[in-house]
Amino acid sequence: MKSTTLSFLVRVPSAAWVVLLLMFIFTTVSGRYLTVGNIVNIIDQNSMLLIVALGATLVLLSEGIDLSSGSVLSLSGVTCVYVMKYLMLSGTSNTIAMFAGVLVGLLTGVVMGAITGALIAISKLPPFIATLGMMGVAGALSLVAANSSAIYINNPVFVFFGSKLDRYIDWPLMGYVSVPTFIAAIVFVAVWIVLYYTSFGRYIIAIGGNESGARLSGVDIIRWKWAIYVMSGLLASLGGIILAARIEAADSIVGVGWEFDAIAAAILGGTSFVKGKGGIAGTVLGVLVIGVARNGLNVIGMPTLWVPALTGTIVILAIVFEVMLSRWKERKRWVRQGLR
């Protein structure tokens, strides 16, 4: 009996415990914390982070890292809004301008991802150096394109990406679902299918688990590794476009630090950078840890300046907890097997 309780406790991912602990603390501190509105708000606010973090998870699964995703997010938002605004000023209809802008934004992500991927897969640069360099390049490009500030956009069609679903569908409960959440859910399902039901997904895990083994069994490492970074760039740009639609502006530095949140969410979710372990389900929990921490600190009235430092500290501590716990689980497994 005791051992089953214990094994249940152990089987629940550590990030879930952290989320529960944080929510417990915030609920005791503030009565305004645990409301339906606030929970919906947390999910809504972190939908973009989930999209970016899914890309980061794929990269981490392949034993890489993508430090450029935050800058790519800024850059795609800027190019998207830039093109949209240009087309609208030259008299194109709102809808066409929206489609063109979104397309250009996504294309930006794909191109940046393709360059990063080529540097890593073909030229065999260490991922963190290649993506760190691309972080500088993409960040600078978005500053140049937006003239070091923000571009405001007033396109009623584009606002779709940042609004609640009840504006478009007249069903009950739709006021609780925002378009970003909806898109994030679709992206989650799509990435799930790609990761677990396609050969690309198998190759990602194979490359992360044992790269030379994968190569020897005929996996085209260069092509698939390249594809992983294209994917990450694409997801980052999608996050950037949604963010731009929400705030109706493209800020050239809006993505600063997003890559850290995305990577941290993936690690918190149990994705390990050493053996291709983990998966995208945990990433949702990881995003929740960050989202709950940040939202809770704001709701309980922590001064805004404290929030980034405290959120970062909570995240680092949660990562340490996750790593320690998974190591403890591993040791326990060994002990059990040894006893048998």
Residue numbers of the site for another protein (CB under 8 A)?
A: 65, 67, 119, 123-126, 128-130, 132-141, 143-144, 148, 257, 260, 263-264, 267, 273-274, 305-306, 308-313, 315-316, 319-320, 323-324
Distance of closest approach, residue 62 Cβ to another protein, in angstroms: 14
Nearer to another protein, 135 or 191 (CB): 135
DSSP line for 189-245: HHHHHHHHHSHHHHHHHHHHH-HHHHHHTT--HHHHHHHHHHHHHHHHHHHHHHHHH
Nearer to another protein, 181 or 271 (CB): 271
Q: How far apart are CA 260 and CA 68, in angstroms?
A: 10
Q: Which helix (H) or strand (E) holds 294?
A: helix 280-299
Nearer to another protein, 80 or 315 (CB): 315
**In Å, how far are 39, 41, 73, 317 from 35, measured between CA atoms?**
6, 10, 31, 27
Q: How far apart are CA 107 and CA 83, in angstroms?
A: 12
- To the nearest 10 degrees (0 to 180), the angle between helices 179-197 and 199-209 is 70
Distance of closest approach, residue 140 Cβ to another protein, in angstroms: 4
- CA triple 237-87-234, angle to 5 deg: 10
Distance of closest approach, residue 153 Cβ to another protein, in angstroms: 21
Distance of closest approach, residue 68 Cβ to another protein, in angstroms: 10
Distance of closest approach, residue 292 Cβ to another protein, in angstroms: 18
271 contact partners, CB below 8 Å, separation of at least 6: 57, 60, 61, 277, 278, 279, 282, 283
Nearer to another protein, 188 or 258 (CB): 258
Nearer to another protein, 132 or 159 (CB): 132
The 3-state DSSP class for residue 178 equals: strand
Distance of closest approach, residue 308 Cβ to another protein, in angstroms: 4
Nearer to another protein, 40 or 118 (CB): 118
Entry field: residues in the chain: 340
- Strand partners of residue 249: 152
Q: How far apart are CA 94 and CA 49, in angstroms?
A: 27
Distance of closest approach, residue 91 Cβ to another protein, in angstroms: 31
Nearer to another protein, 195 or 315 (CB): 315
Nearer to another protein, 238 or 315 (CB): 315
Judged on CB neighbours under 10 Å (0-12, 13-18, 19+), 171 is: exposed
DSSP letter assigned to residue 250: E
Distance of closest approach, residue 162 Cβ to another protein, in angstroms: 26
